Amino acid sequence: MTKLSVNINKIATLRNARGGNIPDVCQVALDCEHFGAEGITVHPRPDERHIRYADVFQLRPILRTEFNIEGYPSPAFIQLVKSVKPHQVTLVPDPPDAITSNAGWNVEKNMEFLKETVSDFQSVGIRVSIFVDTNLKNIEFASKTGTDRVELYTEPYASTFAVNREAAIAPFVEAAVLAHKLGVGLNAGHDLNLNNLAYFHFSIPWLDEVSIGHALIADALYLGLEETIKRYKAQLQ
């Protein structure tokens, strides 16, 4: 079964726009779980423009499903994750001022850093996923870091899906097959939505998890959160 992890960063962005605690990030996370999400994802950034470090500490003891923290492994981020001990940490190569994750790691270039970071997190019982593109060389080197999983950066798939879905999915299937062959688990995320998710899942049936935030929260404005999560989960059947 492919798990749906809901990224709640956009809920925090809305809260932060006015100050106070509306909407309540913790309550929305619990609602997502209640409505069927199998996980919650957050991506705290150094400027705390959406999810704050304090949110991460507040979420950990109340969540009943899988908790995934993603971000660039700076010293402060590493300390946060090791203190909170989520089920999974996803390593992304974002610079501090990035609007959103827009590229995967050059794993070969950062091999020693990633190997040390993966080992550091695994030593305290945290599963590790490395954010990568479909370059097969990156998949091969990722497996050598000892990572438990890779997360495929799916924006290229989403941006060309409407034009030619077979061509859009082809490099992702190739990358997924290689990861599977190497014994590396597989996650995916970025711009997956109700239009393209089912085909992605159908084409890669051994997908462990998808992390979806922006599109899902936008759909919830029209459909409501409960109905939206229901529809996303239906794409993964």
From the list 113, 124, 129, the residue with the least C-alpha distance to 71 is 129
Please give the Cα distance from 122 to 196 (Å, whole number): 33
Question: Out of 33, 66, 190, 209, which one is annotated catalytic?
Answer: 190
User: Is-catalytic flag, 34?
Assistant: no
Q: What's the DSSP call for residue 2?
A: P
Q: Half-sphere exposure of residue 141, counting CA atoms within 13 Å on the CB side?
A: 20
C-beta of residue 203 within 8 angstroms of C-beta of residue 173? yes
Question: Out of 43, 66, 151, 209, which one is annotated catalytic?
Answer: 43
**Residue 65 backbone phi and psi in degrees, to 5:** -105, -165
Tell me the pairing of strands 185-189 and 66-71. unpaired
From the list 161, 208, 220, the residue with the least C-alpha distance to 180 is 208
C-beta of residue 62 within 8 angstroms of C-beta of residue 25? no
User: Is-catalytic flag, 43?
Assistant: yes
From the list 65, 74, 81, 104, the residue with the least C-alpha distance to 188 is 104
Tokens 């939206």: give the residue: 228
- Which CA distances in Å does 235 have to 105, 175, 219? 28, 21, 14
Give residue 98's identity as a one-letter amino acid code.
A
Question: Out of 33, 66, 70, 209, which one is annotated catalytic?
Answer: 70
Q: Which residues are catalytic?
A: 43, 70, 190
